[in-house]
Structure 1
Amino acid sequence: MDAEIMPPKTEDIEIRLLLEAIFRKYHYDFRGYAMASIKRRLLQARDHFNCQTVSALQDMVLHDPGMMTAMLPYLTVQVSELFRDPLYFKAIREKVVPHLKTYPSLKVWIAGSSTGEEVYSFAILFREEGLFERTMFYATDINHDALKKAEAGVYSLERIKLFTENHRLSGGKGSLSDYYTAAYGAASFDKTLRKNVVFSDHSLATDAVFAETHMVSCRNVLIYFDRELQDRAITLFKGSLARKGFLGLGSKETLRFSSSADAFTDFAHDERIYQKRDVT
């Protein structure tokens, strides 16, 4: 006798209906996000907004335009640091930068830039390596409020000790304090670090490639996607990268199961840095 197929839980049905409603109403597409992760965050939102059910949360989202803004922090992960995983940035400094120096101008796409810590990491690293003036950075995210925080470049002083240590371990030259001003419990990063940065809304789930780039850094984003959406994102990166361009992923992410895997070679395996093959 065949094993009995268990019907989906009511809660899971409600979550899929909510994600569909968000897509149809506001054009944010979270339908391809990993179910376990999105469920955990939506249940936190349900409790925070004092809703008895996910369906009640959906009713609020559909009928209160301000709710979508309030919901986005629950749907998007905003956890980052300057020079997070310092060995990743050290590998860029020591292995990738020598290749990038051969180009007269550069474009770097930081996808899923959240509140900007990775953007400033790249800006500082490229300034220290003499590449900043010839580089245009594209910092993209689906969360407009996170992008505004990124553009402001202001972080709590409590975080600066960790940022400073990360910068040192990444092979940083000089002191991180050269790049910010401290006042009133906050560190404000030098506005000149933003002069070559374009902050823009972009969804890896629905939007297309917008520029040819020499490096894409998308770290700790794909782990929240299901396999199909991961594949879509990697295909976007492949389409964006120039020949022999570089792709950096998070420490728990891989190209191994992607349909685009053959378009890349391992460049710095332990740091999850790949290079696009030199093919026409």
Structure 2
Amino acid sequence: MIEESELDLLLNDLLEIYGYDFTHYARASLKRRINRLWSLDKFPSFAELRYRVKSDPSYIKRFVEELTVNVTEMFRDPQFYKTLRTDVLTTLSAKPFIRIWHAGCSTGEEVFSMAILLKETNLLHKSILYATDLNPEVLEAARKGIFAMAPMKQYSENYILSGGTNDFSTYYTAQYGFVKFNEDLAEKMVFSTHNLVSDRSFNEFDLILCRNVLIYFDKPLQERVLTLFNDSLGTLSYLALGSKETLKFSSIQSQFKQLDGEKIWRKVG
């Protein structure tokens, strides 16, 4: 099991050598994931693990992937997507152009879910979806729009529960246990690395989605990221967070009004 002092050494190595700043991630979660990696890769000691991290740049890809949680699915929490469809997108439809930011997009399932919503509400043609993540490996997977076939039944059920009325399979082609989503969905997506810990805002958005990312940050980093989102949203734009995340007790709370029953807030001030 990794000790607190050892964790500090490792986080300092990651920051100094590779520029990855995990110092404000929740400690318990970091320790759990590093211990898992330590066990999986059978390091005999912390010294061996640290040496590998410091001296093997190819190993860093795996290490960072383990530290950045990539758990996602299409139309996750269908009621959330139903609210996006009926309340948020109908309001944004009056805009001449719609900018959406998926922060911490992981492998892209939620970005493609949003593209499908936009297509079905006839808004995709005047929208652009910026999808960002700290991890370039997962971004590369997202950019391809290729996913395993196995979860498609669950995704289809989520899609129907979210208010979808089409045959979900019309949005992709299946082959050899994988599916590739249609090119017209991906045409409106821009994938790029972005570090919520250290990078600044890069545009003004009408909707920002960052779901189940903040729960892995400590309170000061949560506050920094929420301020970044606030700076990136125009008045009457929307911010969507994960089921266990909130604007309560944050410095930006007074500027937002929550939609009934959902983790979606509208910027009103």
TM over 0.5: yes
> Is 1:36 matched up with 2:28?
yes
> Is 1:174 matched up with 2:166?
yes
- Among 233, 237, 254, the residue aligned to 1:241: 233
CA RMSD of aligned residues (A): 1.2
TM-score w.r.t. structure 2 length? 0.97
- Among 151, 155, 158, the residue aligned to 2:150: 158
| CA–CA distance in structure 2, aligned partners of residues 274 and 200 of structure 1 | 25
Is the CA contact (8 Å cut-off) linking 1:181 and 1:189 kept in structure 2?
yes
1:272 is aligned to 263
Name segments (4+ residues, structure 1) moved above 2 Å.
52-56
- Among 40, 43, 47, the residue aligned to 1:48: 40
Is the CA contact (8 Å cut-off) linking 1:255 and 1:261 kept in structure 2?
yes
1:256 is aligned to 248
- Among 105, 119, 130, the residue aligned to 1:113: 105
| CA–CA distance in structure 2, aligned partners of residues 235 and 193 of structure 1 | 30
> Is 1:220 matched up with 2:220?
no
| Gapped regions of structure 2 (runs ≥ 5) | none
1:58 is aligned to 50
2:140 is aligned to 148
Identity score, percent: 42
Deviation at 1:267, TM superposition (A): 2.0
TM-score w.r.t. structure 1 length? 0.93
| CA–CA distance in structure 1, aligned partners of residues 179 and 154 of structure 2 | 13
One-letter amino acid matched to 1:53:
S
Is the CA contact (8 Å cut-off) linking 1:11 and 1:54 kept in structure 2?
no
Is the CA contact (8 Å cut-off) linking 2:2 and 2:46 kept in structure 1?
no
**Deviations 1:82-124 (CA, angstroms, capped at 9, x unpaired):** 0001111000111111210110001000000000000000000
> Is 1:17 matched up with 2:9?
yes
**Deviations 1:154-190 (CA, angstroms, capped at 9, x unpaired):** 1111110000000000001311111000111111111
Deviation at 1:237, TM superposition (A): 0.6
One-letter amino acid matched to 1:198:
V
**Deviations 1:227-260 (CA, angstroms, capped at 9, x unpaired):** 1111111111100011110000001111112122
| Gapped regions of structure 1 (runs ≥ 5) | 1-8
1:200 is aligned to 192
